Amino acid sequence: MKKRLIGGLVAAAILIPTAAFAAPPLIEMLTRKPMTAEQVKVDEVGKATLEKLYSAFPETKSFEIIDASYLGDSTNSTGTKTIQQSIVLQEKGGTGKKVTLHTNGITGEIQDLTQENWEPKEKPLITLSDQQIKAKVNSLIDKMYGNIKEYEVAMEQMENSDQKTFMLNYTKKGSKTPFYQVFVQGNSISVGVVGGETTPSINKVEGYFSKNGKPDYFADDFLNDEKLFSLLKMSPTDLKQELAKDKSVVEVAASKNVSKQQVIDVIAKTQVEKQFPAEENSKPFMEQMMKEIEPKVVYVIEHKNETTLKK
């Protein structure tokens, strides 16, 4: 777990790429296409997202859609077959409460949301007690996703010299990684669905890289790859032991006569297949996604232990 805040974290941006526990979604690297408010309201994904929001927070029915965009194939006038859709709503007048949502266009899941300015300016969210902040976050998750009682929460203040910032991780019993990861900063709450794991796998290990003695789950997500282990002819434990000798994955691969590009291709393909089911997309699209994620893969495989891992 890194207590390091990357600038602009809580703005209307995708939360997961900067989180310490999860690999970044590919969608945050791609060019988005604009949508009008009218298109959002007639689009299947857009309508479902708005219905979830309106049900959880009825007052948002009067909010204006001030921005919207999507990723995917524009197969008709509403821009359907979206990979991800983003909607920003705000109280009329442009200075009040604001909500930003990012929805998976394939599954319909709201992947992350940011709630801004829901507390009075005179007493913003960050000035409340830890228990009050936790209660606000619990309520937001419960209303938008439900079943908050199934999770245990750990809250800590991050090392951020610019603004007081808290990170809250919601984990199911028996899981090592969070299902929800939340950042509270200023007068905003950003919730990201990072997935977690309900059961440990005998084919995975934790902490290929670490910082201050704690595992870096961002790298773990990339490196716990059965195809990578097969390519390197190594077990997860063997790979971890080699990396502990101040080696990078690239250096370990070279000792096995495996090229850097081979490692990149294997990891990138796995990440794409995890996030975008093959049956939903064409081969050219999948190849494009592999190319888009390549810089992230390179950061991980060139990294060495106990130094700051780029994201």
Who wins on pLDDT, 222 or 87? 87
Domain boundaries, the chain: 16-193, 210-301
Q: Tens digits of per-residue pLDDT, 129-179?
A: 999 999 999 999 999 998 888 899 999 988 765 678 899 999 987 787 788
Q: Tens digits of per-residue pLDDT, 36-68?
A: 999 999 998 999 999 999 999 999 999 999 999
Q: Tens digits of per-residue pLDDT, 233-280?
A: 988 999 999 999 999 999 999 999 999 999 999 999 888 887 665 545
Rounded to two decimals, the pTM is 0.62
- Identify any residues that bridge with 308 across adjacent strands, giving them in sequence order: none
